[in-house]
Chain A
Amino acid sequence: MNQKDIIQKCKQNDYTAQIEVYNTYKNLLYNSCFRILKSREDAEDLVQDAFIKGFEKIHQVHNDVNIAAWFRRIAINLCFDKIRKEKNIFSLEDSKEIESELEEMGFENAEEISIDFIKECINKLKEKYRVIVVLYLIEEYNHREISEILQINESTVRNQYARGKNQLITLLQKHTKNEFKRTHRAT
């Protein structure tokens, strides 16, 4: 069954097609939710919520839509609904703040850093920077899309991303320097 057929079947509330969609994309959504929420239980719950919500609204999409991206967007929106309700990390003040554009730090030779360490450093960032870094660097949303998801100004998103990224680079550089010292001490 191709994607168009599956979407058509889901529009007809076909149980088998819905399970097929779930099994195909559940881990994709789970990784996105887990990166944002940092809780396995919450991420699993929200993945289920996202699929249920998606199947309820699937009649609104065209049969040729990128279904994975569509479900992922629902899941991410649900994650931020939850964050807004429980943590309130994106306050109205964030949205109102007028700031000069921050300059992003450069970081070359990133390929020398392991992905696991990058993940670890991202998780050490302050919550409001971490989620924007995740959305921009990993989920590949642009600043305008992030501002829509978080319901804050695009310029605020740009600044917070720059701050987050700079913090991340600082953490990565610290690691690089330590590695350099350790190597030299050994020699």
Chain B
Amino acid sequence: MNLKEHIEQHKNEFDSEKMSATSEVLFKKRLQGELHQPKKSKMVYLRFIAVAASIVLVLSIFFWNQNSNELTKTSEVLAFLNNESAGKRLEGVYKFDDEFKKEDSKIINTLIKILHNDANANVKIATIDALLKFPSNDNVRTNLIIALEKEKTPLVQIKIIKSLSFLREHRAQKTLEEIINNNETFPIVKSNAALAINQLKQ
């Protein structure tokens, strides 16, 4: 028998070496580390989601907090506006004028009620100033015209006439003419109404 044939016949004896007992533990550890870890891109993606979620959470808390503050402020102003004391109502109007930059429908509706119904002229005049902060609000413009039709106090009438002239509210012309033609209207109110009609016509 030649050498190659002899080796072939005893092939198993050449494969008698065994790997050490610790090698399997090491291999399992390595296999897990190299082929069974979450992929990097996945990790980056998860990290991105975590960061985005954190930002959303922080912003939500911020806006919720802000919204909560707004609600508190609104309730406070409404409490003042609905107070029996004219002084408190006036304080409420000024508070709204100072602290609110955005429209608040609840407060605006309350101010419109004051414009129509409040017994105190000073409160009404301050209210008109506060409402003029929102010149493009049609509800405000329409209610100023309606208020002018009903208003009997000269100071308040003059304030509304000047406001409608400032707003260039052409729908007020008919009411202004009625004021001029009304015998009970104070002359100073009539002259302001005439001036307003002229300005609206220009």
Contact = CB atoms under 8 A, between A and B. Distances in A.
Interface of A: 13, 15, 18-19, 22-23, 26-28, 30-31, 34-35, 40, 44, 47-48, 51-52, 55-56, 106-111, 113, 115-116, 118-119, 137-138, 140, 165, 168-169, 172
Would you list the 4 A-B pairs with minimal beta carbon distance, nearest first?
A110-B6, A31-B15, A115-B13, A110-B3
A78 B56 CA distance: 51
A52 B34 contact: yes
Given A19-B28, A30-B19, A34-B17, A52 B35 contact: yes
A15 B36 contact: yes
A110 B35 CA distance: 47
B19 A47 contact: yes
Given A13-B36, A108-B2, A115 B10 contact: yes
Contacts of A47: 19, 23
A124 to B, nearest CB: 15
A48 B26 contact: yes
15 contacts: A13-B35, A23-B24, A30-B19, A47-B19, A48-B23, A48-B26, A51-B31, A52-B31, A56-B35, A108-B1, A109-B1, A110-B5, A138-B7, A138-B14, A165-B3
B14 A35 contact: yes
A27 B5 CA distance: 23
Contacts of A165: 3
Given A13-B36, A15-B36, A48 B1 contact: no
Give the residue among B1, B7, B11, B30 with the most A Cβ atoms within 10 A: B7
Contacts of A15: 31-32, 36
B40 interface: no
Give the residue among B26, B31, B34 with the most A Cβ atoms within 10 A: B31
A168 B6 CA distance: 14
Contacts of B6: 110-111, 113, 118
